[in-house]
Amino acid sequence: MFSDFMVNTWIAASLVAVVAGCIGFFVVVRGATFAAHALPLSAFPGAAAATLLGVNQFAGLVVFAALGVAGISELARRERHEVATALCLVALLGLGTLFLSLTSEYAQSVYALLFGDVLGISEAELPPLALMAVVCIAAILLLFRPLLLSAVSPDLAASGGIATRLTEIAFLGILALATAIALPLVGALLVFSLMVGPASAARALSARPAVAMVLSAVIALVTVWAAVALSYLTNWPIGFFVGGLASLCYIGGRLLK
């Protein structure tokens, strides 16, 4: 479990968990769970485009996540936010279908990006992963007050000089970057549960925002560690354990409350 090739897995899983836990707190507070579900799926076609063009998959994930943010932000000015998110998701998934149909070398990579490939993290992938994780956490800490205030009371935030639209774009940008970080490890279908489950449990356990965010990161970290260990011992998919444990975290938090 702690052999050389597993060290990269533990490091990457820890980075992803901390980032997902921190941004997940704001996903829950802002009621942005649909966006947290849609952005991983809309970023996923970026990997298909990168495979088709023969470039780094992470670059494709970041570009398409950014397109998702731009599309949601622009469409939200004309439509309800959930409608804008759905329209953007449908458009990007349509592009993903096209890209996948044009290449014959995607099967395994597509499966990995949908459900995660915890044992496929190489040592060369750790430095950029760590850098992106630091950028995400730094941005969250820097924007902690505007993100929180605009979620609790947009009118009060606006009266206090906070640009609520720019704050929303910044939040979606951080969420998109966190998605691109987590996608190769836990997959597009499980990023959502890793962000929402631990954060919901943390919110149930504490009403203090800073404490709840730290608790969310800790719960996400324990969840991913347990999922990696159980996946290694049973040879079952890590996605199953991430989703199941995240759900148990929420149920446990509600019961303790």
152 φ/ψ sector (left φ>0, alpha ψ -120 to 50, else beta): alpha
DSSP, residue by residue, 187-234: -HHHHHHHHHHHHHHHHHH-SSHHHHHHHHHHHHHHHHHHHHHHHHHH
Distance set, CA 65 to CA 42, 62, 126 (Å)? 7, 5, 20
Residue 211 pLDDT class (50, 70, 90 cuts):
very high
| More confident call, 97 vs 209 | 209
**What residues have CB less than 8 Å from 54, skipping those under 6 apart?**
none
Tokens (6 digits) for 13: 């899983």
Q: What is the C-alpha separation between 59 and 215, in angstroms, rounded?
A: 31
Look at residue 121 and tell me whether its pLDDT is greater than 90.
no
DSSP-assigned letter for residue 36: H
Greatest mean pLDDT range, 19-23, 56-60, 250-254: 19-23
User: What is the identity of the amino acid at 38?
Assistant: A
Please give the pLDDT value at position 120: 65
Please give the pLDDT value at position 82: 73
122-147, pLDDT tens digit by residue?
Answer: 777 788 888 989 999 999 999 999 99
Look at residue 111 and tell me whether its pLDDT is greater than 70.
no
Please give the pLDDT value at position 215: 94
Cα of 193 vs its chain's centroid, Å = 9
User: Domain residues for 16?
Assistant: 4-256
Look at residue 23 and tell me whether its pLDDT is greater than 90.
yes
Q: What is the CATH number for 139?
A: 1.10.3470.10
* Mean pLDDT of the region 194-214: 90
**What residues have CB less than 8 Å from 197, skipping those under 6 apart?**
223, 245, 246, 247, 249, 250
Q: What is the number of structural domains in the chain?
A: 1
Residue 109 pLDDT class (50, 70, 90 cuts):
low
* Mean pLDDT of the region 87-93: 79
**What residues have CB less than 8 Å from 70, skipping those under 6 apart?**
none
31-67, pLDDT tens digit by residue?
Answer: 877 777 777 777 777 777 877 777 777 777 778 878 8
Please give the pLDDT value at position 142: 93
| More confident call, 255 vs 41 | 255
Q: What is the C-alpha separation between 63 and 59, in angstroms, rounded?
A: 6
Taking the model in full, what pTM does it have?
0.83
Q: What is the C-alpha separation between 243 and 246, in angstroms, rounded?
A: 5
Look at residue 113 and tell me whether its pLDDT is greater than 70.
no
Please give the pLDDT value at position 25: 93
Please give the pLDDT value at position 169: 85
